[in-house]
Structure 1
Amino acid sequence: MSNQQQKWLYLFLLSLVWGSSFILMKKALLGVTPIQLGAIRMLFTAFFLLSVAPKSLKKIQKKHYKYIVYTALAGTFIPGFLFAFAITSIDSAVVSILNSLTPFFALILGALIFGFAFKKTQLYGILIGLVGTLILILNGAVVNPNQNYWYALLIIIASVGYAFNANMVKKYLYDLNALSIVTGNFLLLIVPAFTVLAFTGFFSIFSFQDKILMQSLGYLAILSIVGTGVAKTIYNKLVHISDPVFSSSVTYLIPLVAIFWGVLDGEKLSPLQIFAGVIILLGVYLVNKKK
């Protein structure tokens, strides 16, 4: 399989997995708090990765660890809590749509801080994608007027973190395989995540008899192992064989999957939002266009 075919395969898989993550978070929040969700998700993922890929840590050299710390904080730790809080006040589909700002920030940070060049068509693609995103957001506000869109700021901050992470991986961790990066990230997050979880009082209220809590932990297990552990490995592979802007364009496709799950869960979707989704797909095509 050529790199071009791999890029699109990884993009499709990530869209499917991460697009489903928002409804899983929404369901998990029925039994845990946003802070607990973020911390448990990190711990589940860390234990999974350390159980299946401990040897990958041996490939991390001393020079890498500084950037492993940066990517762990910007690409996992901070966004994990921000998304959990945002999804308490905004529909899961809308949260996924707001996450589509990531490619825009990836382009800006890549050009201003990391020295990456970009093509004019990539800029056009991102701008078109953002137009589609804005249509989705504005129309969503009309369809759901009671939602608190101030929480959108949390997703914007998280998107900046994801963009920083993508550029950091491409610039400084290009010589390290994707699995090593992800496993290193979560190894460093075990102590902070466990500390945060302990301060929420989770261990004092935990009970196997609590059916709602057990269901939430089940959703979190799926979210952590597939949606974080496996997906982040695929994402870092995608960054290695493409570029930060194309890799971040997965966030243009994620809303389409998330909206599908949201509609099944009773969230509202208008014809205008479907049209906006088509605009977003056009943006993805232009971001990947070589000439």
Structure 2
Amino acid sequence: MTDYQKKWFYLILLSFIWGSSFILIKKALLGFTALQLGGVRIVFASLALFIFGFKSLSKIKFTDWKWLVIAGLTSSFFPPFLFALAQTELDSGITSIFNSVVPLMTTLVAIALFGALITKRQVLGVFIGLFGTITLILAGMEFTPDQNYWYAIFIFLSALGYAFNINIIKRHLAHLSPLTVTTASFGVAFLPALFLVAYSGFFTDIQEHAEMHNALWYLLALAILGTAWANILFNKLIHKSSPVFAASVTYTIPLVAVLWGVWDGENINVYQLLGGVIILLGVWLVNKKKNVIH
């Protein structure tokens, strides 16, 4: 399989895995708090990664750890908590559409902090993407007023974290294997996540609440498949492609997530879909010119 074929294979596989993660978060929240879900997700994912990737940590140089700490915090530590918190107030399908701003964030971070060039078409794409986001928020506030769309802020913060992570890996950690980068990133997140799990009362609650036992299976799938394995695949995708192409996995994630949401009884109105399409149009324009990020 050529590198070109591999990057598309990883993109499609990640679209399905991460597109399914939103419904898994929703189901896990039936038994866990957002703090418990985020913390346990990180702990389980870290333990799975340590089994396979612990030996690879010996390849890391001291100078790499600065970037690994930043990448670990921005992509492995904060997003699991922020996504769980967002989905306490927002449907899984809507959350996935908001997540489509990741490529826009990736481009803006690359321009602002990594010296990437930008074209007029990309500027237009960024503004169109932002307009689509506003449309999505306003449509949701009007047609589904029972949801708190201020919680979309947590998705945007996660997207910003992913944008930092993608650019850092491509610029400063490309010499390390995807397994090494992923394991180290979760190694950074492991101890603070374990502390928060203990603080959340998880170890006491799980003995007393039966609903947590059923939700635990969704959380395990989310941690091992949707977090540990998916992050390895994503880092492979970053190595095989450009940062913005890697971020483009968010093109197809909403398609999978919205289908899961509709299957689970969520309502998506035409104006929300229109907002999502506008966001994707903006992302497409941002990505249309090849080799923008050097």
TM-score with structure 2 length normalisation? 0.90
Q: Residues 201-227 of structure 1, C-alpha deviation per residue, up to 9 Å, x if partnerless?
A: 2112222x7431111111111001110
Q: Residues 140-166 of structure 1, C-alpha deviation per residue, up to 9 Å, x if partnerless?
A: 333312211111111111111111111
Judging changes above 3 Å, is the alpha-carbon distance between structure 1 residues 149 and 285 closer, same or farther for their aligned structure 2 residues?
A: closer
The amino acid that maps onto 1:232 is: N
Provide the alpha-carbon RMSD of the alignment. Answer: 2.2
> Does 2:69 match 1:62?
no
Alpha-carbon separation, structure 1, partners of 2:280 and 2:61: 39
| Aligned 8 A contact 1:235 1:247 in 2 | yes
Q: Residues 23-60 of structure 1, C-alpha deviation per residue, up to 9 Å, x if partnerless?
A: 10111011111000000000000111111232222222
Tell me what 1:232 maps to.
231
Moved more, 215-224 or 50-59: 50-59
Q: Unaligned 5+ residue runs, structure 1? A: none
Judging changes above 3 Å, is the alpha-carbon distance between structure 1 residues 205 and 227 closer, same or farther for their aligned structure 2 residues?
A: same
- How many residue pairs get matched? 290
* 1:167-246 equivalence runs, <5 A: 167-207=167-207, 210-246=209-245
| Aligned 8 A contact 2:103 2:283 in 1 | no
Tell me what 1:4 maps to.
4
Q: Unaligned 5+ residue runs, structure 2? A: none
Indicate the percent of aligned positions where both proteins have the same amino acid. 48
Alpha-carbon separation, structure 1, partners of 2:233 and 2:117: 24
Question: Secondary structure of 2:111's partner?
Answer: helix
Tell me what 2:25 maps to.
25
Tell me what 1:140 maps to.
140
| Aligned 8 A contact 1:246 1:287 in 2 | no
Judging changes above 3 Å, is the alpha-carbon distance between structure 1 residues 88 and 185 closer, same or farther for their aligned structure 2 residues?
A: same
| Aligned 8 A contact 1:253 1:281 in 2 | no
TM-score with structure 1 length normalisation? 0.91
Alpha-carbon separation, structure 1, partners of 2:161 and 2:9: 24
Distance apart, 1:8 and its partner CA: 1.8
Q: Residues 73-125 of structure 1, C-alpha deviation per residue, up to 9 Å, x if partnerless?
A: 01121111111111001111111111111111111110110123355555555
Distance apart, 1:197 and its partner CA: 0.8
Tell me what 2:263 maps to.
264
Alpha-carbon separation, structure 1, partners of 2:137 and 2:252: 15
